[in-house]
Structure 1
Amino acid sequence: MNKRQARYFAIGSTLLATLVFLGLTLDSHRQFPKLTNAQNITPAVTLGKDAWHKHNCINCHTIFGEGAYYAPDLTKIAQQRGAPYLRAFLKDPSKFYDEQRHRRLMPQQNLSDEEIDGLIAFLDWVSKVDNQGWPPRPIVVTGLGAGAANATIPSTTTATDPSTSAEGAATAMTGKDPVALGERVFMAAAPACTACHSLTAGADMAGPSLAGIATRTEKTLASPDYKGTATDLTSFIRESITQPSAHLVPGAMYSANGASFMPDTYGKDLTPEQIDQLAAYLATFK
């Protein structure tokens, strides 16, 4: 290739690259309204966006991967936590964290009720933007979550597990072992249980750690303070899934105004079989 050919090749390549870039840019702008749910940008969303910038939330948090990394990414926080939790948290973050234990504490922003409602609306809008699956992992508040390397996850091949027998092994292999199926439900429910519950003792997140739930349940059912209708471990777990406000732990920051922060939609979103499987799985945490 001589100098003239090299020059023409460079010019042609530049023009082609420019055309491709412009085409992709125009196509992106064409899709922005649909991808960002622009039609759902209400005055409350705008107010929340302004509060987000006014209080410099991005100095600690990220949305869509943009911002600081000192505090959790909040892209999907509205789906993972829900409005009741966010409202109570924004009112007084100190009730959810202990600076000595967690080595960090979100400052009290003294937000007005209008700003809190706006921020919740803004974060709800953000959570519904089609961001191609980002962030890839559920939010972790305390640094420990279900699936962490040191999580205490019960084995489905223990001595008391039916899969240790020939019949049980065959059942597990055909995908009918309720404990194994319950673990899948725990990881894949929408929103995923792992977004709020840890399987590591002492690692409380938006909801309490589920390590030792079987032992705690025995004490709860025997307590005169228990307000639910469950009579045993399995029915208590079912009740906690389908009616999370049936029994609220006194003094615990997992509820506000007499209602649990846990969504009350799992009874509709999960089939009775899935709930039974989830109960069977969680019952193994002694």
Structure 2
Amino acid sequence: MNKRQARYFAIGSTLLATLVFLGLTIDSHRQFPKLTNAQNITPEVTLGKNVWHKNNCINCHTIFGEGAYYAPDLTKIAQQRGAPYLRAFLKDPSKFYDEQRHRRLMPQQDLSDADIDGLIAFLDWVSKVDNQDWPPRPIMVTGLGAAGGNAASPAAAAGSAAAATASDKNPVALGERVFRSAAPACTACHSLTPGADMAGPSLAGIATRTQETLASPNYKGSATDLATYIRESITHPSAHLVAGAMYSANGVSFMPNTYQKDLTPEQLAHLAAYLATFK
């Protein structure tokens, strides 16, 4: 290829790339109203967006892959937590994160009730945007993995290894799969490390704690043994509330109450079998 041919090739390639870029840009803008549910942008959502920008939330948080990574990604937070949790958190973040334990503390923004409602509406709208499954998973900020090193019992560890086998029928191994793949994933809120409470309490030692809970006169649920208690906690999280202001508000648990319809009876049984191994 001589210099003249190379020049024509470069010019032609640039023009072609430009046309492709413009075409993709036009196609993206054509799809924006449908992908973003633009018809659902209410004045309250707009107020929430303004609150988000005014308080520089993006300096710590991320939505749609844009922002900082010091604090959790909030793209799907409204689906993972729900309005009661978000409202209580925004009113007093110090109840949820301890600077000594987590090495971070969300600043108190002193938001009005109207601003909080608007911000929740904005985050709810964001969570329903068709973002092509991005981000692919919640971003953890505590530095504590869900597995928690040696937190898993030998039975759970054996189940995890067996899970790699396509023919595996071990309920514990199947339960571990549910624990990590349910929507929202249990790992988004619960650690398996002793004392490492996140948005929800650590599940390390749940079997031992359950026996104490069932024997306590303060227990309000209807479970009679470990398996039924775990199932009740998953399907009816408000039946018995774990002590601690950060897990509930006004008698309602922050844990999603959708697992009863989202998980099959078999999946619930497997999940209970897996969690029962944490003594």
- TM-score scaled to structure 2, two decimals? 0.92
1:282 correspondence with 2:275: yes
* Residues 158, 138 of structure 1: alpha-carbon distance in 2 compared, 3 angstrom cutoff: closer
- The letter of the residue matching 2:201 is P
Q: Indicate if the aligned counterparts of 1:61 and 1:69 stay in contact, CA closer than 8 A.
A: yes
**Per-residue deviation, 1:7:** 3.0
Q: Indicate if the aligned counterparts of 2:48 and 2:120 stay in contact, CA closer than 8 A.
A: yes
- The letter of the residue matching 1:67 is G
Alignment of 1:261-280 (within 5 A): 261-280=254-273
Distance in 2, matches of 1:210 and 1:157, equals: 13
Distance in 2, matches of 1:83 and 1:96, equals: 15
Distance in 2, matches of 1:222 and 1:46, equals: 50
Distance in 2, matches of 1:153 and 1:138, equals: 21
* Structure 1 residue aligned with 2:140: 140
**Per-residue deviation, 1:147:** 3.9
**Per-residue deviation, 1:151:** 5.8
1:44 correspondence with 2:40: no
Show CA shifts across 1:163-205 (max 9, x none). xxxxxx9xx8633221111111111111111111111111111
The count of aligned residue pairs is 276
* Structure 2 residue aligned with 1:200: 193
Q: Indicate if the aligned counterparts of 2:73 and 2:138 stay in contact, CA closer than 8 A.
A: no
* Residues 36, 147 of structure 1: alpha-carbon distance in 2 compared, 3 angstrom cutoff: farther
Gaps of at least 5 residues in structure 2 are none
Show CA shifts across 1:8-58 (max 9, x none). 223222222221121111111112222222222121111110000111111
3-state SS of paired residue (2:105): coil
Show CA shifts across 1:124-171 (max 9, x none). 1111222222222224242213145x2623344789x8xxxxxxx9xx
Alignment of 1:159-174 (within 5 A): 174=167
**Per-residue deviation, 1:67:** 1.4
* Residues 218, 269 of structure 1: alpha-carbon distance in 2 compared, 3 angstrom cutoff: same
Q: Indicate if the aligned counterparts of 2:147 and 2:193 stay in contact, CA closer than 8 A.
A: no
3-state SS of paired residue (1:253): helix
Show CA shifts across 1:61-89 (max 9, x none). 11112112221221121111111111100
3-state SS of paired residue (2:246): coil
* Residues 68, 135 of structure 1: alpha-carbon distance in 2 compared, 3 angstrom cutoff: same
3-state SS of paired residue (1:239): helix
Alignment of 1:224-243 (within 5 A): 224-243=217-236
Distance in 2, matches of 1:222 and 1:37, equals: 49
- TM-score scaled to structure 1, two decimals? 0.89
Distance in 2, matches of 1:151 and 1:142, equals: 17
Q: Indicate if the aligned counterparts of 2:155 and 2:277 stay in contact, CA closer than 8 A.
A: no
Distance in 1, matches of 2:52 and 2:108, equals: 14
Distance in 2, matches of 1:208 and 1:82, equals: 17
Gaps of at least 5 residues in structure 1 are 162-168
Distance in 2, matches of 1:112 and 1:237, equals: 37
Distance in 2, matches of 1:157 and 1:246, equals: 27
CA-based RMSD: 2.1
**Candidates 203, 207, 216, aligned match of 1:210:** 203
Alignment of 1:154-193 (within 5 A): 154-156=153-155, 174-193=167-186
Distance in 2, matches of 1:56 and 1:158, equals: 43
Distance in 1, matches of 2:22 and 2:87, equals: 43
Distance in 2, matches of 1:5 and 1:101, equals: 65
* Structure 1 residue aligned with 2:70: 70
* Structure 2 residue aligned with 1:166: none
* Residues 157, 203 of structure 1: alpha-carbon distance in 2 compared, 3 angstrom cutoff: closer
* Residues 183, 243 of structure 1: alpha-carbon distance in 2 compared, 3 angstrom cutoff: same
Q: Indicate if the aligned counterparts of 1:77 and 1:139 stay in contact, CA closer than 8 A.
A: no
* Residues 152, 223 of structure 1: alpha-carbon distance in 2 compared, 3 angstrom cutoff: same
Distance in 1, matches of 2:147 and 2:17, equals: 44
